[in-house]
Amino acid sequence: MDGRTGRGPRTAVVVGAGVVGLSTAWFLQERGVEVTVVDRTGVAAGASWGNAGWLSPGLAVPLNEPAVLRYGLRTVLDPRAPLHVPPRVDPALWRFLLRFAAHCTWRSWARAALANLPLNLDCLGAFDALADGGVLVPTIEAPITAGFEATSDATALVRELHRLERVGQAVSFECLTGSALRDAMPQASDRLGAAVRLAGQRYVDPGAFVHALAESVRARGGVLRTGFDAVALRRHRNATTVVSASWDTVSGNAVVLATGAWLGRFTRRFGVRVPVRAGRGYSFTVPTERPVPGPLYLPGVRVACTPYRDGVRVAGTMEFRGPDDPPDADRVTAIVESARPLLTGVCWEKRTDEWVGPRPVTTDGRPLVGAVAEPGVYVAGGHGMWGLTQGPVTGRLLAEEIATGVRPGELRACDPLR
């Protein structure tokens, strides 16, 4: 077949230089495909830079559970709440939220959990493959400690972990109180009286990791082009041309759309019916009086804390605004006010690196990974808050589908044309 090696393509263009797109490019290179990666801004310019950096299969649970719907109905218009929808006339957003609400049932949650299960089971192995292949920023093994004000508050997370076990994902955890909690997490204030500590998790500096991944793609012969704002695709007999807003072009036998929260710019043209919206998260870095021993999660206020350089990265909120909307300083203030009473030894007033990133959220809690209705075109996205955790394994499985022409069983429930 012209332009293809055996059954697979000889060349591929990946649109999007985040963790999902670059992982796909890297694993395509493993299969002998020449790759070009294009991005309108730069490497890790979307949701891949300032997130919490957790590689946490034990917490990568679908967002669409009934409790989220109940919580959202109470708080969705509260500007201080972790889940926030700014009041505005946006019919497409409200249609999205209504479809999401319709999926906030245990039956739909179970389907999403089963769809995500193969990604969670092999996500750390994909990171190990990248490390073995020359991606130089290491992942760090550490338990994640989820802190609660009372023992009774921890029961919801424990039930959620047991639900994951029932769909086939074993999670090792222990419950802590009192001095055991303080030993595990010295930054826990007296307001925190209980914790659930998950073993078998990791974390990483996400920006540094994605840049190292990009360097590895380059070192293996890949081409990275930034400032390339892809706006259209043109199909030829054995290739597809990607056209930029400035009329630059690049062509490949296969094209992968891995544009995160901007995925909807293309997918509606190719038979993808599941919408993707930006669920924006905020983060910042603050110094601490003592080193933070590992990731800390505060489920009551939906805040994630991760050791980062000489302090801690604090991340939180789910804000449904446009992916390119300016940041809202009040969201950072809300994170600080909610987390301050629960932590000690944190210098909140010295925060730096304030950031907002748009996470791609689907209505049914399942990613969109695989071939679309246009021959030679594939999409990879919609992982919500778990794009970093599931990005490399998504890239490995999608590269297998592209190279062999056969959809791996692990991706069946993530079919973009469902």
Which residues neighbour 162 within 8 Å (Cβ) at sequence distance 6 or greater?
none
Residue 76's pLDDT is what?
66
Residue 73's pLDDT is what?
67
**Any idea what DSSP says for residue 77?**
T
Read off the pTM.
0.95
Residue 77's pLDDT is what?
67
In three-state secondary structure terms, 135 is: coil
CA distance 24 to 29: 9
- pLDDT digits 0-9 by tens, 3-23: 544 568 999 999 999 999 999
CA distance 81 to 293: 28
**Which helix or strand (DSSP H or E) is residue 314 part of?**
strand 311-320
CA 396 to chain CA centroid, nearest Å: 16
Residue 1's pLDDT is what?
37
Residues of the chain with pLDDT below 70 are 1-7, 72-73, 75-77
Which residues neighbour 285 within 8 Å (Cβ) at sequence distance 6 or greater?
308, 309, 311, 312, 313, 314, 351, 352, 353
CA 199 to chain CA centroid, nearest Å: 20
For tokens 């959220």, the residue is 361
103 with 153: CB under 8 angstroms?
no
CA distance 399 to 254: 11
Residue ranges of domains in the chain:
4-414
For tokens 């949701």, the residue is 47
The CATH number fitting domain 4-414, selected from 3.40.50.2000, 3.40.50.300, 3.50.50.60, 3.30.930.10: 3.50.50.60
**Which helix or strand (DSSP H or E) is residue 196 part of?**
strand 194-198
